[in-house]
Amino acid sequence: MSRFRLVPDEFSYNSAIFACAKGGQWQWALRVFAGISEVRVACDAITCNAAISACAGGAQWQPALHMLKDIPEMRLSPDKFSYCAALSACEKGRQWQFSLSLLSEMTQTRLSGDELCHGAAISACEKDGRWQVAVSLLHQMPQRSMKPSAIMYNVVSSALETAGVWEASLALLGNMLVQRLIPDALFAGSTAGALRKAVSEESAYDLLVQLLQLWIAQDRPEAQEEGEPEEENGYLPGSSEHVRILGTAPGVIAIFKPTGVTTATAVGQVSQQLVGETAESELYNPAGLFIVSRLDHPTSGVCPVALGVAGSAAAYWLQAQFAGRLVRKEYLCLCEGPALGPEGFTGAIASRLLTTDMGLVRGTSQSSRTEVSALGREAATGYEVVARYCAPRGAAGEISELMLLLVRPLTGRTHQIRVHLASIGRPLVGDLTYGTRGSSLLPACPRLFLHCREITLRDVEGRPFVAEAPLPADLQDILARLQPVQVQESRNGNHQGEQEEQSLAGGSKCLTGHKDNAHRSDILSVLPATWGYQNVTRSTSLLDFPVIQGCYATDAIFSLAAMGKFIKAGRVVVILSGRYAGKKAIVAKVFDDGSKSRPFGHCLVAGVDRAPLKVTRKMSKKKISKRTRVKPFVKYVNYNHIMPTRYQVPTEIQPAAMVTDQQMDTSDGRIEAKKFVKSLLQEKFAAPPADKTGRPSKDVLYLRKKLRF
């Protein structure tokens, strides 16, 4: 403006700050705000609120709170919008304590908080796992003349699902019906997910069937989905595959989406085909299709679509299954990097993922980018090594190879499979966003090697619906040109333990294991190198083959409750969630069938909250004594929240005597048990018992060593 000999006023600064906030440039917004003090321009509340909103957009809760605190120094009074913007920043930063403080401060300054402020505070509690506080805030809203919205119920329901408190989820559902609010698909899915975790999958479906009757009675379809086809044709000019229908059932249709096509484009083309072919049919409305799950632009495979517009009973039914994690998906992908293990090796990655809106890039469909972050949402991906291939001659990386994986994602985050595998150093071949690009072992791959081969769910009549899509011809040709790795009979016995440490050290919680290679040879005989599936019909699932049932049981990988027979007293485990996430513990007692107070598979563990630190001879005795102290803990843990390792403590430690059920019933008993565990572990850590070779026990040394994330 100085070039044009114009003097910026308060409106100019407000517009600049709003533009920075909308573009996600909170640093520039603060710089512009700081420049106001250098010129003689009056700063008003609107300017301050815009700067706080910019910090909220970047999840910068510290600058937002500082600016809110500095508003009185500018001879201004913070209004409701100032507090709402600060609450939004705390919500994105998971600062639930500050959110409650801001709500209390609003009451003291006689500012009446609205539904938006309480919603931000409830969301902050949900993200940090404080479901009790979230329920309390929701309960207080009617007392303050505020009516909770369906979105707030969804947020609280999500917190209850994460905590596995299914009784509270059902009570919240009843309260929602009393308020004459119809639960939507997200709320129903969260409640069903809590039932699935704590009770059974059938109980979750029973709840959804009851809600389905309510959705049918109150069926008020909304407008068609926002996403419109970005292209007129259904496939790219260079694509050899076409959009086609794989199967139909009441309320659901499965289509094949080729690579290079957006999901909205594929669904739009199928809708046109249905209108042209079955316009006079009374089975369903061919033009009413709703996308319940999307595939990435370069990904091919099965894509389920609801036979109904947004808000219809069919759309809610499928959305609830996805939200409750009742849908089973299987992908085939080719990744590169160091070997994960032999054929049949299995694992699961559990790293939180944060998706950032990047804005639509011209010429591409990339509008967001995902990364591993502690501020992200819960995500879990299971994988199994199906085949291994040698790196092509002349490729970079002597110790790297190509691995064909069968991947089963438990959650549906954006780019989840691609980011999770890249986070453990095994990016997908052909991935231009998260892959190795120019240094790839297979630079000639024409596309992203990721294909959704099977989806299993239930139609609106409650019957199982399985849709399959064979591997496309272009991906089959790539596998046909690769040379399989020659399997060696002698393998390093410590490979599995090293894999656990490396995966955890890389920031990804990875559960590992392997199956018998004899089963794998049978599987490869059923699934030949061409992957044509000549013996498999559209209605046949791979789980129908007896030879595969023992190796491809979906629950065997993802439900640690099925691993109860592998968890026994003395086993060293790693806690995966809660206050002691990442801590190691010893199993003292197992409850495979659950108990009266805990009707699910769990165990009683005694763990190490604080491991001993490294000491040297130069340290004083007082310092050595302080650094070798052990802080223990004792608790009951769900099988789904632990990772069993291959380490088993020596029998002389007597894990069953470390803590008992009677001690856990009272606080004095728990204190007594922790004192005993502390003295026992400090003694064994200082002088580890010897193994059969006379060396210090590796099991005790592993327990003493702290995991590094």
Q: Is the pLDDT of residue 588 over 60?
A: yes
Three-class secondary structure assignment of 490-534: CCCCCHHHHHHHHHHHCCCEEEEEECCHHHHHHHHHHCCCCCCCC
Please state the φ and ψ torsions of residue 140, each to the nearest 5 degrees.
Answer: -80, -15
Q: What is the pLDDT of residue 97?
A: 85
Q: What is the pLDDT of residue 366?
A: 56
Q: What is the pLDDT of residue 236?
A: 38
Task: Report which of residues 276 and 619 the model is more confident about.
Answer: 619
Answer yes or no: are the C-beta atoms of 512 and 499 closer than 8 Å. yes
Residue type, position 360, single letter: L
Weakest-pLDDT range from 268-282, 628-642, 669-683: 268-282
Q: What is the pLDDT of residues 5-25, one digit of tens each?
A: 666 676 777 788 878 877 777
Answer yes or no: are the C-beta atoms of 621 and 660 closer than 8 Å. no
Q: Is the pLDDT of residue 445 over 70?
A: yes
Weakest-pLDDT range from 113-122, 214-223, 467-476: 214-223
Residue 671 CA: distances (Å) to CA of 183, 666, 703: 44, 9, 22
Separation CA 470–CA 454 (nearest Å): 9
What is the percent of the chain with per-residue pLDDT over 70, rounded to a whole number?
78
Q: Where in the chain is the domain with CATH 3.30.2350.10?
A: 244-359+368-484
Q: What is the pLDDT of residue 683?
A: 87
Q: What is the pLDDT of residue 39?
A: 62
Structure tokens belonging to residue 536: 């498999």
Structure tokens belonging to residue 174: 């009843």
Rounded average pLDDT over 661-673: 91
| C-alpha 610 chain-centroid distance | 28
Q: Is the pLDDT of residue 533 over 70?
A: no
Q: Where in the chain is the domain with CATH 1.25.40.10?
A: 2-148
Task: Report which of residues 74 and 418 the model is more confident about.
Answer: 418
Q: What is the pLDDT of residue 358?
A: 65
Mean pLDDT rounded to a whole number for the chain: 78
Query: What is the CATH code for 571-704?
Result: 2.30.30.770
The pTM assigned to this predicted structure is: 0.60
Q: Is the pLDDT of residue 128 over 70?
A: yes
Rounded average pLDDT over 221-250: 56
Q: Check 128, 296, 431, 699 and give the catalytic one.
A: 296
User: CA nearest 396: which of 436, 428, 339?
Assistant: 436
Q: What is the pLDDT of residue 416?
A: 94
Q: Is the pLDDT of residue 452 over 90?
A: yes
Rounded average pLDDT over 80-90: 86
Q: Is the pLDDT of residue 645 over 50?
A: yes
Separation CA 572–CA 684 (nearest Å): 15
Q: What is the pLDDT of residue 631?
A: 92
Q: Which CATH number fits domain 2-148: 1.25.40.10, 2.40.50.100, 3.40.50.300, 2.60.40.10?
A: 1.25.40.10
Q: Is the pLDDT of residue 536 over 60?
A: no
Q: Which residue has the tokens 């007896």?
A: 546
Q: Does 114 participate in catalysis according to the annotation? A: no
Q: Which CATH number fits domain 244-359+368-484: 3.40.50.150, 3.30.2350.10, 3.50.50.60, 3.20.20.370?
A: 3.30.2350.10
Weakest-pLDDT range from 279-283, 301-305, 555-559: 555-559
Q: Is the pLDDT of residue 238 over 80?
A: no
Q: Is the pLDDT of residue 208 over 80?
A: yes
Rounded average pLDDT over 28-53: 75
Residues contacting 573, CB < 8 A, separation 6+: 567, 584, 585, 586, 587, 603, 605, 637, 642, 643, 644, 645
Q: What is the pLDDT of residue 514?
A: 40
276 band by pLDDT with thresholds 50, 70 and 90 = low
User: CA nearest 253: which of 290, 307, 301, 291?
Assistant: 307
Q: Is the pLDDT of residue 548 over 60?
A: no
Please state the φ and ψ torsions of residue 467, each to the nearest 5 degrees.
Answer: -120, 130
Rounded average pLDDT over 181-187: 88
Rounded average pLDDT over 404-423: 94
Q: Is the pLDDT of residue 277 over 70?
A: no
Classify the C-alpha dihedral 464-465-470-471 as positive or negative: negative
Separation CA 446–CA 474 (nearest Å): 8
Please state the φ and ψ torsions of residue 470, each to the nearest 5 degrees.
Answer: -65, 160
Structure tokens belonging to residue 486: 């020659």
38 band by pLDDT with thresholds 50, 70 and 90 = low
Q: What is the pLDDT of residue 383?
A: 95
Give the pairing type, strands 450-458 and 464-468.
antiparallel
Rounded average pLDDT over 455-480: 93
User: CA nearest 314: which of 288, 296, 339?
Assistant: 288
Structure tokens belonging to residue 79: 């209004």
Q: Which residue has the tokens 């059974």?
A: 200
Separation CA 453–CA 256 (nearest Å): 10
Residues contacting 349, CB < 8 A, separation 6+: 380, 381, 382, 383, 420, 421, 423, 424, 503, 508, 509, 510
Please state the φ and ψ torsions of residue 266, each to the nearest 5 degrees.
Answer: -65, -45
Rounded average pLDDT over 77-97: 85
Q: What is the pLDDT of residue 419?
A: 95
- Most confident by average pLDDT, 22-26, 429-433, 485-489, 518-522: 429-433
Q: What is the pLDDT of residues 349-403, one digit of tens each?
A: 999 998 887 654 444 445 688 999 887 888 999 999 999 998 886 555 556 899 9
Compute how many other C-beta atoms are within 10 angstroms of the C-beta atom of residue 558.
20
Q: Where in the chain is the domain with CATH 2.30.30.770?
A: 571-704
Q: Is the pLDDT of residue 427 over 70?
A: yes
Task: Report which of residues 397 and 293 the model is more confident about.
Answer: 293
Q: What is the pLDDT of residue 40?
A: 62
Compute how many other C-beta atoms are within 10 angstroms of the C-beta atom of residue 144.
11
Q: What is the pLDDT of residue 675?
A: 93
Q: Is the pLDDT of residue 262 over 60?
A: yes
Please state the φ and ψ torsions of residue 647, each to the nearest 5 degrees.
Answer: -95, 140
124 band by pLDDT with thresholds 50, 70 and 90 = confident
CA angle 306, 213, 206 (to 5 degrees): 90
Residues 73-77: contacts with CB under 8 Å, at least 24 apart: 74/43, 74/48, 76/43, 76/44, 76/45, 76/48, 77/45
Identify how many contiguous H helices and E strands the chain contains and give both numbers: 24, 18
Q: Is the pLDDT of residue 322 over 70?
A: yes
632 band by pLDDT with thresholds 50, 70 and 90 = very high
Rounded average pLDDT over 21-40: 73
- Most confident by average pLDDT, 87-91, 154-158, 273-277, 632-636: 632-636
Q: What is the pLDDT of residue 566?
A: 63
Q: What is the pLDDT of residue 287?
A: 53
